[in-house]
């Protein structure tokens, strides 16, 4: 149970100093110079610090993380297929404990102020549902601290590995909330059938879709068209995200404009995380200003694919700005809108934000402005989830490790 909180002197984005009253896990009054509540309430003086709504990662792979297993020297080859095959082999050889690994990385996410995560979970004919089951346990264990939305994801291919669809359906029957797809041409070698299968599962289980599309230029753009055709056919408007969508940065101006119209007509969201490298990336500002729903996330954290990502959505905001050369404050504020409201819309969080009646998910940090916090990325002074303080100064309040019964609060 949460106690009431009275948080004084904090600054939401675009608003002057306010006090926030939190009651029964929800935000009550907000405003300058509020009267302290008469009932017992924990008083917190924010001393002019910044407050963000709970940070959201709308594109994570919690099951992939190797955090805490000792430094993993990365020597994997450059091709996507090398990375996929290397990871699948390694997991079986090392007998990865997915409950342990997803817990480790999720706890670190919470320390960085994350209250909601959309996580893909790999399903293939080698590991079966082990990763899914581990993640589902973690989702349950940590439900008071972070909400995890689970996507059944065919990382190693779907049609090209018979049996994968059956496993995905098992996951969808047992709690997976979305169905994923992956590079319908370059991985499954049969774009129409791959997408038909994904949409068939989506209709059958009445779930949203998130398709990872790394395919470049005109090939990727063709996949966008095929996705849009299926969205229209079954009226899955507002229920599909295309992740990465590198192709949108690699086609000519006229075709890009056509695809933007397709995305808008079919209310398809685009996920971009400002990826590493020099390849083409979606034109984030253009898509956002055109009204395309945009979201972002960290992708894999310290996994077999590489070490570059961290479970910090302020770092992600910085990297999205860096890769897009967003230097103006209004551009970095747009990125913050994507990290918070954009991600909330994609995850269908009806109740989100710093406003009366919303769940009290708040992150308080030092800083002059919210944009400066993206640049300096200070430790999270306080992370509040449903009115409970879950982390202070970048460290979890509850240090008990569900992996280790000997630990405890």
26 Cα distance to chain centroid: 23
What's the CA gap between 61 and 280, in Å, rounded?
Answer: 22
Please tell me whether residue 341 binds a second copy under the rule CB under 8 A. no
Q: Provide the mask over 232-251, with x wherever binding to a second copy is found by CB under 8 A and - wherever it is not.
A: -----------------x--
Q: 284 vs 391, which CB is nearer to a second copy?
A: 284
Please tell me whether residue 80 binds a second copy under the rule CB under 8 A. no
Q: Using CA atoms in the order 333, 117, 216, 72, what is the torsion angle rounded to 10 degrees?
A: 110
Please tell me whether residue 378 binds a second copy under the rule CB under 8 A. no
Q: Which stretch binds a second copy (CB under 8 A): 109-117, 229-237, 353-361, 370-378?
A: 370-378
In this chain, which of 319, 335, 354, 365 binds a second copy, going by CB under 8 A? 319
Q: Which stretch binds a second copy (CB under 8 A): 34-42, 181-189, 206-214, 368-376?
A: 368-376
What's the CA gap between 79 and 115, in Å, rounded?
Answer: 33
Q: 240 vs 270, which CB is nearer to a second copy?
A: 270
Please tell me whether residue 82 binds a second copy under the rule CB under 8 A. no
Binding-site size, a second copy (CB under 8 A) = 38
What's the CA gap between 221 and 153, in Å, rounded?
Answer: 21
Q: 41 vs 76, which CB is nearer to a second copy?
A: 76
- Provide the minimum distance between the beta carbon of 79 and a second copy in the complex, in angstroms, as a whole number: 12
Please tell me whether residue 217 binds a second copy under the rule CB under 8 A. no
Please tell me whether residue 265 binds a second copy under the rule CB under 8 A. no
What's the CA gap between 268 and 223, in Å, rounded?
Answer: 13
Please tell me whether residue 372 binds a second copy under the rule CB under 8 A. yes
Q: Which stretch binds a second copy (CB under 8 A): 23-31, 162-170, 329-337, 349-357?
A: 329-337
Question: CA dist 118 to 220, 297, 306, 324, 380, Å?
Answer: 23, 9, 20, 23, 21
Q: 94 vs 351, which CB is nearer to a second copy?
A: 94
- Provide the minimum distance between the beta carbon of 78 and a second copy in the complex, in angstroms, as a whole number: 9
Please tell me whether residue 216 binds a second copy under the rule CB under 8 A. no
Whether the CB-CB separation of 112 and 382 falls below 8 Å is answered with no
Q: Which stretch binds a second copy (CB under 8 A): 20-28, 65-73, 340-348, 398-406?
A: 65-73
In this chain, which of 40, 95, 235, 330 binds a second copy, going by CB under 8 A? 330
78 Cα distance to chain centroid: 25
Long-range contacts of 81-85, Cβ-Cβ distance < 8 Å, separation of 24 or more: 83/304, 83/305, 84/155, 84/156, 85/156
What's the CA gap between 216 and 201, in Å, rounded?
Answer: 26
Q: 240 vs 281, which CB is nearer to a second copy?
A: 281
What's the CA gap between 36 and 60, in Å, rounded?
Answer: 39
Please tell me whether residue 404 binds a second copy under the rule CB under 8 A. no
What's the CA gap between 371 and 366, in Å, rounded?
Answer: 12
Beta strands 18-23; 5-12: pairing state: antiparallel
In this chain, which of 16, 40, 75, 253 binds a second copy, going by CB under 8 A? 75
Please tell me whether residue 66 binds a second copy under the rule CB under 8 A. no
Beta strands 147-153; 114-122: pairing state: parallel
Please tell me whether residue 258 binds a second copy under the rule CB under 8 A. no
Whether the CB-CB separation of 312 and 354 falls below 8 Å is answered with no
CA end-to-end distance (rounded Å), the chain: 16
Which residues have CB under 8 Å from 94's CB, separation 6+? none
Please tell me whether residue 86 binds a second copy under the rule CB under 8 A. no
Q: 137 vs 392, which CB is nearer to a second copy?
A: 392
Q: 109 vs 318, which CB is nearer to a second copy?
A: 318
Indicate the burial class of 72 (C-beta count within 10 angstroms; 0-12, 13-18, 19 or more).
middle
Please tell me whether residue 332 binds a second copy under the rule CB under 8 A. yes
**Interface residues with a second copy (CB under 8 A)?**
70-71, 73-76, 249, 276-281, 302, 305-308, 310, 318-319, 321-330, 332, 368-369, 371-372, 375-376
């Amino acid at each position: 149970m949460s106690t009431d909180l009275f948080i004084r002197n904090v600054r939401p984005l675009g608003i002057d100093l306010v006090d926030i009253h939190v009651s029964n896990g929800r935000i009550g009054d907000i405003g300058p110079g509020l009267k302290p509540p008469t009932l017992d309430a924990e008083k917190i003086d924010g001393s002019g610090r910044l407050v963000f709504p709970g940070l959201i990662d709308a594109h994570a792979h919690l099951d992939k993380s190797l955090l805490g297993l000792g430094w993993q020297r990365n020597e994997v080859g450059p091709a996507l297929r090398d990375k996929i095959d290397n990871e699948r082999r390694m997991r079986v050889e090392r007998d990865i404990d997915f409950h342990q690994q997803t817990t480790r990385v999720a706890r670190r996410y919470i320390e960085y102020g994350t209250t909601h995560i959309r996580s893909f979970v790999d399903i293939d004919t080698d590991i079966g549902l082990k990763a899914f089951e581990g993640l589902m346990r973690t989702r349950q264990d940590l439900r008071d601290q972070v909400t995890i939305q689970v996507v059944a994801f065919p990382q190693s291919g779907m049609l090209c590995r018979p049996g994968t669809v059956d496993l995905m359906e098992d996951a969808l029957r047992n709690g997976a909330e979305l169905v994923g797809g992956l590079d319908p041409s370059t991985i499954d070698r049969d774009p129409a059938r791959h997408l038909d299968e994904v949409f068939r599962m989506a209709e059958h289980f009445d779930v949203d879709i998130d398709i990872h599309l790394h395919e470049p230029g005109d090939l990727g753009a063709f996949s966008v068209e095929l996705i849009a055709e299926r969205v229209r056919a079954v009226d899955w408007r507002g229920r599909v995200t295309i992740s990465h969508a590198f192709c949108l940065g690699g086609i000519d101006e006229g075709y890009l404009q056509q695809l933007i119209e397709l995305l808008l007509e079919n209310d398809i969201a685009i996920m971009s995380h400002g990826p590493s490298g020099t390849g083409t990336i979606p034109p984030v500002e253009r898509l956002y200003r055109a009204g395309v729903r945009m979201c972002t996330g960290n992708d894999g954290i310290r996994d077999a694919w590489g070490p570059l990502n961290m479970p910090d959505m302020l770092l992600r905001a910085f990297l999205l700005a860096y890769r897009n050369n967003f230097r103006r404050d209004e551009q970095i504020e747009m990125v913050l809108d994507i990290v918070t409201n954009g991600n909330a819309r994609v995850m269908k969080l009806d109740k989100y934000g710093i406003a009366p009646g919303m769940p009290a998910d708040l992150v308080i940090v030092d800083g002059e402005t919210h944009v400066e916090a993206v640049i300096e990325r200070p430790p999270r002074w306080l992370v509040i989830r449903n009115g409970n303080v879950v982390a202070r100064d970048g460290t979890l309040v509850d240090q008990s490790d569900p992996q280790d019964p000997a630990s405890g609060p």
